[in-house]
Structure 1
Amino acid sequence: MVKVKFLGAAGTVTGSQFLVEGSNSRFLIDSGMFQGSREWRAKNRIEPLFDVKTIDAVLLTHAHIDHIGLLPRLYTLGLQCPVYCSAPTASLAEIILQDSSILQKEEAEFRRKSRRSRYENPEPLYTMQDVQGALSLLQPKGLDEDVLLPCNAKARFSQMGHILGASSILLEIDDRRLNFSGDVGRFAVPVMRDPSPVNFGKILCIEATYGGRTHAKEAPEKQLSAVINETVERGGLILIPSFAIGRAQVLLYYLRELKEAGSIPNIPIIVDSPMAIEATSIYKKFPEWYDEEALKLLQSGKSIFEPANLYFIRDREESKRLNPIQESMIIIAGNGMLNGGRILHHLFHRLPSPKNTVLLVGYQPEGGRGYWLKKGVPSI
C-alpha cells in the first residue's frame, strides 16, 4: 500500500511537503517553509513528523522558498539522501537558500537586540553551513526522462511554467503512479513555455492557490501600463514588492515591451534586490525553457529582461540613497510577501505619500504585511 501524508500546503498555501511511503521506501516531495502569520511561521521550528534519516530521496518541484526552504533544516537533522530536481531549480536553489540564511541571521540578531521574541535567545533556523550541506545533496535531472530511485521506484519531471525550472513530478512506486503538480503556471504568460501535458496516475496532488478565483480577462501589461501612467501623472512613484524569482523577470519583460511600444514614459526602473539580479542572470543561462516568442526576440538580438533606463542596485547604502528622491520611477524590491528585505525601508519612506502607488503583484498570505495592506489598514 502507498500512503501520502500532507505535511504542508494543506489548510494554508505555503510549506509544501508531501511524505510518500511505499512498502519499503519513503520519499519527500518538496520541503517548503511556512510563511504568513506568526502561528504558521512557528511550524518551521517543530520537529518533523517523520525520521529524516529514513528518507530515500527528495524530489523538488521548483525553487521557491515555500517549496525548498526547509531543506537546510532537514540536513541539520540528518538528511543525507539525494535531492533530485531540474537543472535550473538547482541553480536557483543556491541563491534563494543562501539569501534565506542571511535574512534569518539578520532577523535573529534584530530580535535579540530589541528583545522582541518569544524565545529567550533567538537563533536562525539554519546557518550558511547548513545551506551548503543541503546544496551538496542536489542532483539535477533533465525533463521527461526517468530518474531511477531506490526500491525500484522512478520519477519523471515535466515542465509546468510558473518559473524557470518549475516541474510537475510523476512518481512510480509499488506499481502505483502518483502526480504532484507543484505550482502550475498560467498559459500564455511571457518567457516560459506553457505547462506540459502529463500522463495521470491513480493519485493527483494539484495546487489550488487560485482555484476559487476567476482571473481578469484584461491583459496584465495593460493593467500595469494604466497604473504606471496614473501614478506618473500625479507625480508619484511606483513601488513593487516582487518575488525575486519568476515575478521580477516577467515584470522586466512587460516593462521592456511597454517602453518599446511607447505605452509608458521612459522613467527609471530600479531593481533593488541582489537576489533578483542573480536570478535574472540564471534565467539567461537556460533559454531552452523559453517559449517561441521569447526565443525569437533573443534571436533578433533583444535583451528580453532589459527595458530602457534600467538600473540594478546591489549595495544596501546605494538602496538607501533612493529614499530622498521624489521624481517618478519604478522600484522593484524584495521580498514579494513584505516579510523582510529592502522593500521594508522603501515602504517606510513611500507609504505616507498619496502620490505613490504600492503595486502588489504576488500572493499575500493571511496575516502578512501585504495581506493587511490589501485590507486597507491605516498602518502596518
Structure 2
Amino acid sequence: MGVSLTFLGAADTVTGSKYLLRCEGKALMIDCGLFQGYKQLRLRNWAPPPEALRAIDAVVLTHAHLDHSGYLPLLVKNGFQGPIYASPGTRDLCKILLPDSGHLQEEDALFANRHGFSKHRPAEPLYTRQDALDCLPHIKAVQAHVCFQPIPGWRVTLRPAGHILGASSVLVEVAGRRILFSGDLGRPDDSLMNPPEPAPAADTVLIESTYGNRTHPPEDLLAELGPALARLAARGGVAVVPVFAVGRAQALLHAIAQLKAQGAVPHGLPIFLDSPMAVHTTHLFEQHPGEHRLSRDEVHAMTHCATMVNSTDESKALASRHGPMVILSASGMATGGRVLHHLAHHAGNHRNMVILTGYQSPGTRGATFASGARSVRIHGRDVEVNAEIVQLQSASAHADAGQLLAWLRTMPTPPDQVYVVHGEAAASDALRARISHELSLRAIVPEHGATWPC
C-alpha cells in the first residue's frame, strides 16, 4: 500500500491548512488550521469533523498562525489524544495564540448575545479558552534539523522557513517516499526574519501560493509607512492598524522605531499596541534571538516604541483619547478582536486612517476596506467609512511568486510532483502554470477533500 495525501484545508483557498498523510493504516496530519474569510469557509469549522480526522496518530505543525494551528483545540476536544510536534518557537507562540483565540471567541459570543445581532440564540464560541489550554500539553517541541519519529517508522525533520518565529518546512520520510511541506515561506529580504533554508530533495512537494500571482514592490516598508504616518500626524488624526499579532505587529513596531529614529515620523507620535497576544509575542523575540535578524538593541527599540495595552479597560480608554495617535490591534484582516471596536469608533472621521498591512483574504472586513467600500458591517451595524485607506504593499511576510520559484530551484533533484496549495484560485493556478512552464515540473492545484498519491 502506497502513501496517500488528503487535502482537508488550504486547497483552493488560503486558509484552514490541514494535510493528512496515510500509509499502511497510520495517519499523520501536517497543520491543523482554522478556516477564515468567507462565511461558507468559516462554516467548515463548525461542521462535524471529517471521518479521516478520527484516525490521526500524530500532528506536526509548520507554524503557529491560526490558519495552521487554530483547529487544535477542537481536535483535542473531539477526542484526539496523540502528540503534536512543533518547533520551540511554534510551541511558545501556540501557548499565546490558542488561549487568546478561545478567549476572543468567548468575548465575541458574549458581545453578540448582549447586543442581539447573532442569528443564534444563544451565540456560542467555536471553542473556549479552557479548550485551548487543554490542548497545549499535547504539543512537544523538536529542534530544527533533528530527525524524529512521530509514528514508528515515519521520519520527520523541521527546517527553518522564515515567515514568523518558529516557522518551518516539514520533510516526511515514509515507505521510501519523501514528502516536503513548504509551510508558509518567508521572504529572503524580510526585515525581521532570517531567510528560508534551501529546500531538501523530495519526491512530492506541497508549496504555498499566497502570493503566487504577485511580485512584491521594490519599495520597502519604511518608504511606504513613513509618509502615511507623517500625513496623519500633521492633521491630528487617528490611525487604526489591523495587524496579525504574530509577525506583522512586530514588523510594524520595528519600522516605526526606525522611522522615529530617522526623524521621518514625529518622535512624540503616540503608538499603542492593543493586543495582549501581540504584546506577549513581541517579548518572545528576546527569548528566541537566533530565529530573527534583529540585534539586542533593535529588539529593545521595538519593544519600547509603543505603549503596551493589555486590559480591556485600557483598550476602552483609547476611545476617549484624541489624535494624533496610532493604534495597532489584532486581527490583521479585521475578522474579530479589539480592532473592530477601534474601527467602528474611528473609520467615520475623514482625518483618520485605516492602514492595511498585507494580504486581505476575500470575505474579510479587511478586504472590504481595501475595496474602497464606503461602509463596513461591524457588530451587526453598518459603519460609515470616511477615513483614508492605506494598503501597504511591502509588509507581507510571505514569499512572492518569484521567490517561491527560487525556493523550488534550490532542490538538489527535481520532485515527481508539486501540489500548489494555500492560495486563492487565481494565485494557485498562476503559480502552477509557472512551475510547469519555467521549471518543467508536474504541478497540480488539488481540490478540497481530494486524495492524491505521493
Normalising by structure 1, report the TM-score.
Answer: 0.94
Aligned counterparts, 1:175-190, within 5 A? 175-190=176-191
Matches within 5 A, 1:155-234: 155-234=156-235
Q: CA deviation at 1:51?
A: 4.2
Structure 2 distance, partners of 1:115, 1:328, is 34
Q: Which runs of 5+ in 2 are unaligned?
A: 377-454
- State the Cα distance separating 1:128 from its structure 2 match: 2.8
CA contact (8 A) 1:24 1:151 kept: no
Distance in 2 separating the partners of 1:354 and 1:361: 20
SS in 1 for 2:249: helix
Q: What amino acid is the match of 2:245?
A: A
Unaligned runs of 5+ residues in structure 1 are none
Cα distance in 1 between the residues matched to 2:145 and 2:24: 26
Contact kept? 2:286, 2:299, Cα under 8 Å = no
Q: Matched residues in 2 for 1:72 and 1:82: separation?
A: 13
SS of alignment partner, residue 14 of structure 1: coil
Q: Which aligned runs of 4 or more in structure 1 are off by greater than 6 angstroms?
A: none
Measure the CA separation in 2 of the matches of 1:108 and 1:307.
Answer: 34
Matched residues in 2 for 1:306 and 1:131: separation?
A: 27
Q: Do the aligned partners of 1:240 and 1:333 also contact (CA within 8 Å) in 2?
A: yes
**Structure-1 separation of matches of 2:195 and 2:149:** 26
In 2, Cα distance between the equivalents of 1:71 and 1:218? 38
* Distance in 2 separating the partners of 1:370 and 1:160: 26
Distance in 1 of aligned mates of 2:202 and 2:374: 49
Q: Distance in 1 between matches of 2:262 and 2:52?
A: 56
The answer to whether the 8 A contact 2:90-2:165 is kept is yes
Match of 1:286 in 2: 288
Identity of aligned residues (%): 39
> Could you list the per-position Cα deviations for residues 236-283 of structure 1 after superposition, in whole angstroms to 9, with x for gaps in the alignment?
222211011111111111111111111211111111111111111222
Instruction: Return the offset for 1:235.
Output: 2.5
> Which residues in structure 2 correspond to 1:1-380 (within 5 Å)?
1-266=2-267, 267-291=269-293, 294=294, 297-298=295-296, 303-308=300-305, 310-380=306-376
For 2:131 and 2:321, the matched residues in 1 are separated by 40
Deviation at 1:209, TM superposition (A): 0.6
Distance 1:229 1:194, change over 3 A: same
Name the CA shift for 1:286/1:370 in 2 (closer, same or farther; >3 Å): same
CA contact (8 A) 1:111 1:122 kept: yes
Secondary structure of the structure 2 residue equivalent to 1:206: strand
The structure with the greater share of residues assigned to strand is: 2
Once residues 306 and 191 of structure 1 are traced to their aligned partners in structure 2, the CA distance between those partners, rounded to angstroms, is: 13
Superposed displacement of residue 114, structure 1: 4.2
Deviation at 1:225, TM superposition (A): 0.6
Q: Distance in 1 between matches of 2:289 and 2:301?
A: 11
**SS across alignment from 1:7:** strand
CA offsets 1:64-108 (integer angstroms, 9 cap, x no match): 110001101011111111100000111110111101111111222
The 3-state SS of whatever aligns with 2:59 is strand
TM-score of the superposed pair, with normalisation by structure 2: 0.79
Alpha-carbon separation, structure 1, partners of 2:129 and 2:236: 43
Paired amino acid for 1:289: E
Q: Which residue of 1 aligns with 2:443?
A: none
Cα RMSD between the aligned structures?
Answer: 1.6
Q: Answer with 281-290 or 59-68: which moved more.
A: 281-290
- Contact 2:285-2:299 within 8 A present in 1 as well: no
CA deviation profile, 1:11-43 (whole Å, cap 9, x unmatched): 211101101111232000001000112211110
Distance 1:344 1:123 in 2: 19
Q: Flag the 1:301–1:47 CA change in 2: closer, same or farther, 3 A.
A: closer
Check 1:342–1:209 CA distance in 2 against 1; reply closer, same or farther (3 A cut).
same
